[in-house]
Structures are given as structure tokens and as C-alpha cells.
Structure 1
Amino acid sequence: MARSRSCLWRRRPSWRTRCSTGSRPRSRRRRGEPAGRRRPDARSRLPRADALRGRERAHARTCDARRGHPRPGFRPSRGAGGRRRSRGREPSPDPAAKGPEVATGPQIAEAPDLETLAALVASCTRCTLHESRKNPVFGEGAADARVVCVGEAPGAREDETGRPFVGRAGGLLDRLLLSIGLPRKSVYICNVLKSRPPRNRDPLPEEVAACSPYLLRQLALIEPEVIIAFGAFAARTLLETKSALGRLRGTVHRYSGYPVVATYHPAALLRNPGWIRPTWEDLQIVRRMLDGVGDREARGG
């Protein structure tokens, strides 16, 4: 039976008829969309309920695999040693495998020389800093140095090169030492920590406790006449105090029987050039002690 014109006229027009202006249909391309690119058809997409059911089935397969009850068609992968293990489950650790050896206190205290001690530092796992470091920074200088310079911890440049006090701060330290007649090769330079803390944060107490035996053994092997603590943290760590650096300056202190002179860190001098003069005055105390003039100060500190 043929439809009447009234029925055809009442039928809902298509989107082209609704969107057309005149005889030419209006383009469905959005502003900024490249020409020739078709928008995805909504009918080609999966309904939301079907998509959720698919996710639930995938999650159920994963849970069954972890419980050890794989569904039909599931083939578990092989782990280490040819043993089968379920997908998503970590392999069980091998009880026969041994982790890295941790240097003990007696091993550090019985190191015969600096080379042996440096090898212990290179393989040290006494704290978590070994996981993020690039290179351990043991120290460098003369093994029979009269002066030992101690800093806080390695920085980014020191972590990359494995050497203490490099870059602009290291260059300023060299000039400060030359001002009292001490070339860099004639002193020994090291840090309280042998590994760089992440983002140059302050060292934690457990990290200081883990690295302190190395520093003590370094001083015992070198036997310096005086120690220069550069920076507030190095001075507070060596002297076991919470006093400000301004109160620790200008006085000779003691660390395990060695005289200690505290002063500003070279990196702080780059930010505050006005502290260079006070630092030079602190180094004059070291010069007088090396010349024998400050022996009374060292004995009374």
C-alpha cells in the first residue's frame, strides 16, 4: 500500500535535512578540525554496559590467575629455573642467593690503608644512599696530610665525578687554602657522608651513624694535626652539638682527640661574599696552629 503525502511529510527528517541551509548541506566539521577527518560514529562504539562487563571479565581472569585457578585457555608463564608461576605473581626469592655484604665495624676499623677503606666504601650498603648514588665520594689528597678538610656531603657534581669539592665551590676552596700556604695536593679533603643525599637534603641521623666509622678510620690513618669543618652541618656533626655556626667559629674544638676549627662552607661564600673575610680569619687560626703558635689554644680547646 502506497503512503500518502501526509505520512511522508510527517516523517522525521534526516540530520542532513535538519542541518541544511538551502540546497547545500551544512558541514559537520568543527572549528579547527582538519578537513577530510570523519568524526567517530556513536553507533560503532560499544555500549557502556558491554564495556564494563568486558572489564569485569578481564579482572576476574586476573584474580583467578593470582589465586592459582586459571580459566580454560590460560597458559601461565615460566619463572626463573623453569618453574611455572601465575601471571601477575612475583617469583619467590631464591633462598640460596646472597645479597651484597655489609661492611661491619671491625672490618672498617681494621682497614690497613686508605685504598682498602675506599674499596669498602665503594661496595658499602650500610644505608639507603647507595641505591641513588652514581659514584661514592671517598676523598682525595695526601695520605700524610697535616690538615684534613671535612665537608657535609657530596653534591651533584661530586656525585658525577666521584671527587670532593669540585666546581665553583672547589675552586674557591683552593684559593682559600692557598691564602694560608696550603696547596690542594698537600691537604686531605673528604665529607661526613660518602654518598650524595637525594636533592641535596640534610643527612639523616642513621646516615651519619653509618658513615662515621669511615671518617674515624680516615683520620686514624692520616693522623692530621688539625681538622677544618666547612659548613654548619659538618661542624655540628663532628662536635655533636646543635649550636649555631657563629658560636662555633673562632674557637678550637675537639673531635676524637683531633683539633677542629669550624668555618663557613665555600658554597655559602658564593652566595654571601661578605663571609669571605671571616672565613679567612678562621683559616689564620689553622695557620698559627701549624706554625706552633696556636699549640696553647689547641690544648685548651
Structure 2
Amino acid sequence: MIGPNEKILELTPEERAHAKNVLMNQAYKMATTCKNCSLNLTRNQVVFGDGDINTKLVFIGEAPGGDEDEQGVPFVGRAGQLLTKILEQVNIKRSEIYITNIVKCRPQNNRDPEPEEMLACYHFLQTQILLIDPAIIILLGNTPAQWILKTNERISKIRGKWFDWHGIAIMPIFHPSYLLRFASPKQKEGSPKHLTWIDIQEISRQWDSVKKTGQTTNDIKFG
């Protein structure tokens, strides 16, 4: 008897890509009708995710903001525009990554999502991760870092470090909205912008390795 996993392996690459797309669309449609928490009462749109579902590089933020709630696309506001510019500086195109948030609906007044809201939405994020099967996940800011890694450590303590999470290399970095608080374009040594520049270069190094070899470098240091 052939098990379900063996049947999946029998699919051609084209069939697997089609199946992945169908399943992701089904998850999105489920999210648009989700009423598992009170955020559905105030949202304009569900902000599910954006980008290449066949990538191996995923970015996860905490929640949509006002611009995202209006457009239905994550990271399109000022913070998202800054993130795109940062990625472009190390030759990572927005089109070659997948980006999403812990919760898919905007919390009012851009507050942090509550634990029960993140829990209610977590199965959607799990589905996205399972379907994409990334080699690298980047956690943007304190909320996703603490939620995914199950830690009380602040982002300032764990940013720039690699963690092995179910076989996936995960790095928390500062959220771009945090970087927007610093008006100076200069990257003073030790400043959040300078530290983010160091982090993004390491992310680019590992991403280049994944694209070339299918895996991160042998010298990657976890913890």
C-alpha cells in the first residue's frame, strides 16, 4: 500500500507546485471568513501573505498596519518600504521572498496582538510554513521572535543570532518600524541601523548558499 507521503513524492514538480498553490489559496479563503477572534470585527481586509510560495526564504512580522489593512498586502507602508530598500542593498528582491505576519488582521490602533489572537491565527501561519517549507525564516521584531521561539528574551538580546527551529534556520532582527524611529540616516556603530546592516549581510550570505546548494553554510552558528 502506498502511503500519502509517497503519493506526494510521485507528483511531478509542476504538479507539486500546482498542489501547493491550490492549498495556499484554500488557506487564504478560510482566513477571509475566519471569526476565531474579535479582530474580524474591525478589519477591512485579511492580510494573508505576499510573495513567492516556492521560495526558501520567509519573513514574518507581527500584524498588519493601516496601509496593509487597506490594501490587503503585508509590509506596504513605510516600514515595508524600508524593508524592501534594506533587502535591495544586499541584492535580495522582494519578489524572491515570502512575507507574512503572525496575525492576519489589523489590531486597532496598531497595538501589539494579544496572545489569544496569535493563537487563533497560528494555524494559518503553520500552514504557510508547511507548504513553503523554507530553509530560512527571519522574524521581524519582538512579538514574532518571542512567540515563535517561545522565549521571554527581548529582541535586543537575540537579534542577529541563528536558531535551529524544526530544522529551519531562524534569525530575529529589528522590525523596520523600529528603525524608522531613528531619524539619522547614518549608521553609527552599535546603533539599531548598524546592527540591522550586519544582520542583513549575514542573512544574504546564508540565502546565497541556499540558492546555490539548497542549504545554509556549514559554518552557520546557532544560538
Distance in 2, matches of 1:225 and 1:159, equals 29
* Aligned position for 2:188: none
1:111 Cα offset (Å) = 9.6
Q: Which has the higher contact order (CA 8 A, sep 6+)?
A: 2
1:174 aligns with 2:84: yes
Matches within 5 A, 1:48-87: none
**Does the 8 Å CA contact 1:111/1:117 hold for their aligned counterparts?**
no
Structure 2 match to 1:118: 28
Indicate which of 187, 191, 196 corresponds to 2:101. 191
**Which of 42, 47, 50 in structure 2 is aligned with 1:137?**
47
* 1:239–1:254 contact (8 Å) kept in structure 2: no
Q: Is contact 1:149-1:229 (8 Å) kept?
A: yes
CA RMSD of aligned residues (A): 1.9
Q: Please, which runs of 5 or more residues in structure 1 have no aligned partner?
A: 1-109
**2:169 paired with 1:259:** yes
In structure 2, relative to structure 1, the CA distance for the partners of 1:255 and 1:112 (3 Å cut) is farther
Amino acid paired to 1:285: E
Specify the code of the residue in structure 2 equivalent to 1:265: H
Q: Kindly tell me the number of residue pairs found equivalent between the two proteins.
A: 191
Deviation, structure 1 residue 288: 2.1
Q: Are 2:202 and 1:285 aligned?
A: yes
Indicate the percent of aligned positions where both proteins have the same amino acid.
Answer: 37
Q: Which residue number corresponds to residue 275 of structure 1?
A: 192
Q: Which residue identity is paired with 2:159?
A: R
Q: How far 1:134 sits from its partner (Å)?
A: 0.7
Q: 2 CA distance for matches of 1:232 and 1:278?
A: 15
Q: Deviations over 1:157-215 (max 9, x none)?
A: 11111110012211111111112221111100100000111111121111111111111
Structure 2 residue 160 is matched with structure 1 residue 241: no
1:228-278 deviations in whole A, cap 9, x for unaligned? Answer: 111111111111111011211121013343211111111111112542221
Cα distance in structure 2, aligned partners of 1:206 and 1:150: 18
Tell me, in whole angstroms, the C-alpha distance in 1 between the residues paired with 2:219 and 2:35.
Answer: 42
Instruction: Give the Cα–Cα distance (whole angstroms) in 1 for the partners of residues 142 and 57 of structure 2.
Output: 19
- TM-score (norm. length: structure 1): 0.60
SS in 1 for 2:138: strand
- Name the SS for the 1:291 alignment partner: helix
